Amino acid sequence: MGCLCGRQSVVIQGQKFHLIRQIGEGSFSYVFEARDTADNHLYAIKKMSCHTNEEEKRAQDEVENYQRFSHPSLVSLLYHEQMQYNPNSHVTSINGSLQDAFDKQTKFTTRVLLDLFLNVCEGVRQIHEKGMAHRDLKPSNIMLLNHSHTVILDFGSMTPASILMTTRSEAQQWQDWAEENCCVQYRAPELFHIETNSLITEKTDIFSLGGILYACCFGKGPFDDVYSRGDSVALAAASGRIELPVQSTTYPSNVIDLMLAMLQTEPDRRPSIIKIINIKLTKIVLDATQGTINDISQQLINLLKQYCTKTNTLQIQNIVLPINDSLNISTKSINIKFHYLKHLIVNECDGRLFPIIFSLAPCLTILSVTGPLLLKYFLKIPPPNTSYLIHIKTLELNCMQMDRQNRLNRLLNNLPTLFPYLEHVTVDINPKLYVDLRIIKTILDIFIKLISLKIQRTSKYILDKYTQDDRQVRNYFEIHSYRLNHSETYEIICKDSQLEIWL
């Protein structure tokens, strides 16, 4: 990719275009950014070199696939022409691809990211409703028109949605075809090894979409590192293990859950494109660096009025309030209740805003929060009134930024005081720190409603200053935990920097 040396031009059906730079490359084609000399608008031109009758038919099939659709989320075919030495060209307005954005380390806000992804899904729905599958969805095949709209490119690998492999030779033929036409980092597991009598469906696109959503969140695909190391992407995709970066806690849990559902190894377990679109992916984000309590409270109320029926998740971040500020807003405004909201994500926020948030959203039961924030605002002396936290049943606690063991221990020791009725607890701990097993045993025994406890990111477990291995950790809880001794069933998993206890 890069600029073209000199000014090259191409004429398609009487329209002259100056080629600016190459912006994409496939197995059989090149895509260029070009400018129309008549209206000065930017377009994309795809050149395909056809040296055989088979390659010419492939190009004609792609033209027919473009002509099947007319939707703002799918690329429009404006012109096409077959020329000697200059084969068909497809043109549409563009502004770079998703892959370009990732290469530039562009950071989308969560709202923009999800708007873009759902826009891609709308295009895929059009394809699936016509009984077709794209088969090569990847970031470089998704062009950005602006920060809220995308179009899907490259219909050259499109096939009927369902293909039954009736013979071994047919299965091998399609496997070879997938090797040549489907991007390896975003290829569904069932396309790496196709069995006789198996049915390949449009769910291959769903797996690719899961990889694209992962890349939108984290700037790279789930198997990019595997590919870069030269390891087997086929084995990685088939294993079903998707590693989530630390920043995964930045996004609503339903977004991560949907991503993982789309990346299931079994096609039947992946959601349909209709189900994906109907899931409430968006979240309300209040992001303000400074302002009075009144200003920010009113911003929050206005946002909730506008979006609360579209999502159950609220994210608060980067809120700074004046030191001596106090709330002076009408009682009528504060008495408004938004019962749809269930999940609160807090990255950085002044604790004085919490009573207002919980008053406006009394049905919040899931809290994703950072450890430093809890220490700073809820465990200070004298402690503030935190009675509104008793309704929280699921706590996702990110302590990755904590680098002092005494602070971590203090926070974990005080969890039962802050959240007495927790049912699910997940704590991400800085790998430099350790887990005191006595503290975890206390949490197990005190939380009478606890169903699951997960400690992630660290593999250091300490008991009386001695490091414990995985077997010793399990033995300790089984022998000393009152709760486990009185549970009919339980499960302890301790491996790969993760401790899970299920009751």
What is residue 467's predicted lDDT score, i.e. its pLDDT? 92
C-alpha distances in Å from residue 64, one per residue of 129, 199, 336? 16, 25, 54
**463 three-class SS:** strand
Q: How confident is the model at residue 50 (pLDDT cuts 50, 70, 90)?
A: low
Structure confidence at residue 85 (pLDDT) = 38
Write a three-state SS string for 456-499: ECCCCEEECCEEECHHHHHHHHHHHCHHHHCCCCCEEEEECCEE
State residue 146's pLDDT score. Answer: 63
CATH 1.10.510.10 segments of the chain:
98-277
Task: Please state the rounded mean pLDDT for residues 159-181.
Answer: 93
Spatial neighbors of 377 by CB under 8 A, at least 6 apart, are 350, 351, 354, 384
Residue 147 vs residue 489, higher pLDDT: 489
* Contact present, 82 and 88 (Cβ < 8 Å): yes
CB 73 within 8 A of CB 143: no
Question: Which of 27-41, 132-146, 167-181, 354-368 has the weakest average pLDDT?
Answer: 27-41
Tokens of 413: 């020791």
Residue 61 in this model has a pLDDT that exceeds 70: yes
Residue 183, pLDDT above cutoff 60 = yes
Model confidence pLDDT, tens digit, residues 457-501: 888 999 998 999 999 999 999 999 999 988 888 888 888 778 889
Closest by Cα among 94, 232, 106 to 154? 94
Distances (CA, A) of 131 to 166, 189, 248, 430: 20, 21, 34, 48
CB–CB of 140/98 below 8 Å? Answer: yes
Closest CA to 282 of 249, 313, 261: 313
- DSSP per position, 321-377: --TT------HHHHT---TT--EEEESS--GGGHHHHHHH-TT--EEEEEHHHHHHH
Q: Note whether 106 and 35 are within 8 A (CB).
A: no
Percent of the chain residues topping a pLDDT of 90: 35
- Residue 101, both tokens: 């954005």
Give yes or no: 295 in active site. no
Mean pLDDT value across residues 280-302: 73
- What is the Cα–Cα distance from 214 to 244, expressed in whole angstroms? 9
Q: Which tokens go with 14?
A: 């009487």
Distance of alpha carbon 417 from alpha carbon 310, whole angstroms: 33
Right CATH for 2-92 from 3.30.1180.20, 3.40.1080.10, 2.40.340.10, 3.30.200.20: 3.30.200.20
**Model confidence pLDDT, tens digit, residues 106-141:** 777 666 777 788 889 989 998 998 889 999 999 988
Which is higher by pLDDT, 269 or 105?
A: 269
Domain over 98-277 is classified CATH 1.10.510.10: yes
Q: What is the pLDDT of residue 172?
A: 95
Contacts of 416 (CB under 8 A, 6+ apart): 442, 443, 446, 447
Residue found under tokens 């597991």: 189
Task: Check pLDDT > 90 for residue 385.
Answer: no
Choosing from 136, 205, 428, 436, which is the catalytic residue? 136
Q: If we measure between CA atoms, which residue out of 426, 467, 479, 421 comes closest to residue 448?
A: 421
What's the rounded Cα separation, in Å, for the pair 150 and 47?
A: 21
The Cα-based distances of 142 to 46, 151, 178, 210 in angstroms read 14, 6, 19, 14
> pLDDT tens across 305-316, in order?
876 666 778 888
Q: Work out whether strand 424-429 and strand 394-399 pair parallel, antiparallel, or are unpaired.
A: parallel
* Start and end residues for every CATH 3.30.200.20 domain found in the chain: 2-92
Under DSSP, is residue 142 helix (H, G, I), strand (E, B) or coil? strand
Q: Residue 87: is its pLDDT beyond 50?
A: no
Closest by CA to 209, choosing from 111, 125, 110, is 125
ω into 382 cis (within 30 of 0): yes
Range with lowest mean pLDDT among 4-18, 434-448, 473-487: 4-18
Whether the per-residue pLDDT at 51 is higher than 70: the answer is no
pTM above 0.85, yes or no: no
Residue with tokens 């008991």, as numbered in its chain: 463
* pLDDT of 167 strictly over 90: yes
pLDDT, tens digit, 9 for 90 and up, residues 226-280:
999 999 999 999 998 898 886 666 677 778 888 999 999 999 999 999 888 877 5
